[in-house]
Structure 1
Amino acid sequence: MKQIPETGVSKEVIMKELRQMKSLDFDWKAGRVPSYTYFVDDETLDIQREAYGEYIAENGLGAGRAFKSLERMTDDIKSMALSLFNAPTGAGASFTSGGTESVLMAVKTARDLTRYTRGEPDGRYNIVACETAHPCLDKAGQLLGVDVKRTPHTADFRADPALMRASIDEGTMMLFASAPNYPFGTFDPIGDIGALAEELKLRLHVDGCWGGFLSPFAERLGYPIPNWDFRVPGVSSLSADIHKFGYAAKGASLVLYRNAEDQEHERFSFSGWPRGTYSTPTFLGTKAGGAVASAWSVMQFLGMNGYLRAAKLTMDATMQLIEGLNAIPDIYCLTPNGESNLISFATSDPKLDIYAVADRLEERGWLRGRMRDPKAIQQGVNPAHLPVVDEYLAAVREAINFVRRSAADAPVAYDEHSY
């Protein structure tokens, strides 16, 4: 069992061991990882690293008091994001540690605001969402005592507003839509869901955690990105991760509100102890100052042109992968529509085990995601994948051939009833 050493270990020894341990990881800079990391180039990585290091000791809990620079950077980040997502005058935003916290705060705000407006201080409510919604929604529901009702997706892997309507009852406080959903990379019909929210006077949260900092730029490049942000009437709040395709260091995300007054129901405040009032705008107390500095710096460094360049690299890689995968016999992509950079591909051959293909790819250094329903291999795409498209397609072909050979070479099980 590892214990704290009696005497300190030198920096040189520590760094050597860190680099040795890192050799155990999949090579994310070479496009071997389907998610988790978001890499555009070494220059941007250097900016996020240096900016984070400059503020590695500062605590976002003290922003505005001890660290006014963090308050200024946070305000700038919010302002840039509100403009990017077409927020109206009077909108507000909060900086969070990631998509899970952003969704958690949107649910907490909706719950407390609903309790306030309905005069039910202990009211228990529910959220209606498609089954493709990210699991962090259910995590938020469990933590906050809010039920989540999931409805089936359509044949093209989107939320069905009619099924959502049928699931709404007197306890429903919010609808939830994805832009895009993570399993299939498709956008829910947010215009229709927004109209339903307006009609029934319900809140609507749009989860743009995956695509929030890609979709606006892919749209400018001509990809078929549906309206999903505050341009859609009925959208009350949305979330977007800066540490994904905003290329900031983790953890950096945003939750944005059409009406900044809603944030009064987002914050936590407590005075029942000797020290005095303790108040936080979101879930976390201590916040990494480095995450704020990194997000601010990368957004400035890349600018609109840099984000357009990164989006083009990402979408070029996505479309090349879709085309190449669809050209492989017995393999097809589930949603080849160019709405996002998420790909899931399955097999039309019932004798081909797609999970065994994923296992073979991982043996050869390509970490893969696995879809359960339908069985498929799933991955996100970032600029690091563009230089290795041909190499990856060759690896998929090799994996398929390997799995077929292995199945053919497997001994036939003896069945005593066949004789």
Structure 2
Amino acid sequence: MSSPPSPGRKTLPARGQPWSELHDALSALRSADTDWRHGRDSLDVYYAGEDVLDVARRAYAMFISENARAPQFPSLQRMQDDLLQISLSLLGGGREAAGTVTIGNAESALLAVRSAYRAFRARRPQVRRPHLLVPASVHPVYEQAADMMGLELIRVAIGGDYRASVQTIGQCIEAETMMIVASAPSLPFGTIDPIEALGRIARDRDVWLHVDACIGGFLAPHVARIVPAVPRFDLSLPGVRSLAADLHKFGYAANGVSVLLYADADDQAHQLFEYDQWPKGLWRSQTLSGTLAGGAVASAWAVMHYLGETGYRTLAQRVMHLRDRYLEGIERISGLHVLGQPDLSVIAFGSDEFDIHAIGDAMQARSWHISRLTAPAALHMTVTPVHDQAVEAYLDDLARCVLAARS
């Protein structure tokens, strides 16, 4: 007999509720959420229009119950193979390259760090505590990976251009350095680190270089066709051994599907975990999660084929045009300045004249979702196609908030 629930704890309803009631309840719950369909979200939703969303939704629903990791669904394995082949073709994978579909940046980072660690241990078993060497702008998920694996992570200062400093990283590499992580672009500043130069150092010093392209991986290849100045960052660069990119960002898939790519399949082999000392026999996995939502994989596959190269390039042109409108509008507002020179769609801007976070509070009061930086203090956003509905309204409200702060 089970014990009674604690007072005040949510319990199952005594009777099931019809969908009409549940729909109303869900609508009420989401009433306070950010209106991302009209461009008022600054960071977490990548919306390319109702047609793309509908394709993703329909594909997801077709495979909502399937686990893409399970062998009895070869359709989903075929889709994953297609996603990886397309990703490798976009991101510089040669004949020896390979990859894995993951559930997101966190899993990709953990797997990349584990692979680098096992490769390092195979070469240098005598090193007591290997470490990761990263620019200060790298995502904290690598801190999390190091913490989970009992590794040290050393953050070093970035340059005045808000990019990793090649000189500083080169000076900090030691015998214990097992991995360097670079961003394409960094989430705080939107700048692509000098990965070509870092690759040369990594190769010369025999250190694993991983590229976090979770934001830019499925945007930059299309932008590079129209903006030649986009810095190189992919697997084709000597020294780059692994790269992560999120399909649920600028791939416009449903949440929960990403790729981790390796320049050499031999490096991917370090991901493999096997165990057979239990009643069911051999258990083998290349990932951390035993479940990968079949719907997420199907949505990515469907959206990629729906948009094609032409569709992605059109969206990339739209994003960069919007990015430029935001940059120009921000720079026109006296007292504001953009941090660095963002390469893709992430923008951060601050002020030397007034409290930029107070401006953020005022914008939030006007129903904008505001993302912030703390060091240096700044406001922050990722421009997506949906922002074409909101750019002028955002800039107008921003100018009003700055004017109010001045007075």
Q: TM-score scaled by structure 1?
A: 0.93
Aligned counterparts of 2:228 and 2:307: Cα–Cα separation in 1: 21
After alignment, is 296-305 or 139-148 more displaced?
139-148
Residue from 389, 392, 395 that aligns with 1:390: 392
Q: How many residues align?
A: 399
Aligned counterparts of 1:99 and 1:302: Cα–Cα separation in 2: 23
* Cα displacement (A) at 1:124: 3.0
Aligned counterparts of 2:347 and 2:202: Cα–Cα separation in 1: 30
* Cα displacement (A) at 1:30: 0.8
- Cα pair distance change 1:319/1:223, threshold 3 Å: farther
- Indicate whether 1:180 and 2:185 are aligned: yes
Q: Contact between 2:189 and 2:342, CA under 8 Å: does it hold in 1?
A: no
Q: Which runs of 5+ in 2 are unaligned?
A: 1-8
Aligned counterparts of 1:327 and 1:287: Cα–Cα separation in 2: 46
SS at match of 2:32: coil
Partner of 1:132: 137
Partner of 2:46: 38
Q: Contact between 2:180 and 2:210, CA under 8 Å: does it hold in 1?
A: yes
Aligned counterparts of 2:139 and 2:190: Cα–Cα separation in 1: 12
Aligned counterparts of 1:278 and 1:24: Cα–Cα separation in 2: 44
Q: Partner amino acid for 2:375? A: D
Partner of 1:4: 12
Residue from 66, 79, 82 that aligns with 2:72: 66
SS at match of 1:320: helix
After superposition, give the CA deviation of every residue in 1:70-103 in whole Å (9 maximum; x if it has no partner).
Answer: 1100000000001011111111000001111111
- Indicate whether 1:330 and 2:335 are aligned: yes
Q: Please list, as runs of the form range in 1=range in 2, the aligned pairs for 1:36-115 lying within 5 A after superposition.
A: 36-62=44-70, 65-115=71-121
Q: Contact between 2:138 and 2:186, CA under 8 Å: does it hold in 1?
A: yes
Aligned counterparts of 1:151 and 1:211: Cα–Cα separation in 2: 22
Partner of 2:5: none
Residue from 374, 381, 384 that aligns with 2:383: 381
SS at match of 1:236: strand
After alignment, is 276-285 or 302-311 more displaced?
276-285
Residue from 341, 347, 353 that aligns with 1:343: 347
Partner of 1:363: 365
SS at match of 2:10: coil
Q: TM-score scaled by structure 2?
A: 0.96
Q: Partner amino acid for 1:343? A: I
- Cα pair distance change 1:153/1:273, threshold 3 Å: same
* Cα displacement (A) at 1:273: 1.5
Q: Which runs of 5+ in 1 are unaligned?
A: 406-419
After superposition, give the CA deviation of every residue in 1:128-173 in whole Å (9 maximum; x if it has no partner).
Answer: 1100011111111111122111110001011111211222111111
* Cα displacement (A) at 1:119: 4.2
Aligned counterparts of 1:223 and 1:400: Cα–Cα separation in 2: 35
Q: Contact between 1:224 and 1:338, CA under 8 Å: does it hold in 2?
A: no
Residue from 264, 268, 273 that aligns with 1:268: 273
What RMSD, in angstroms, separates the aligned Cα atoms of the two structures? 1.3
Partner of 1:305: 310
Aligned counterparts of 1:353 and 1:161: Cα–Cα separation in 2: 32
Aligned counterparts of 1:2 and 1:26: Cα–Cα separation in 2: 26
Aligned counterparts of 2:345 and 2:228: Cα–Cα separation in 1: 11
Partner of 1:164: 169
Aligned counterparts of 2:129 and 2:54: Cα–Cα separation in 1: 47
Aligned counterparts of 1:338 and 1:155: Cα–Cα separation in 2: 13
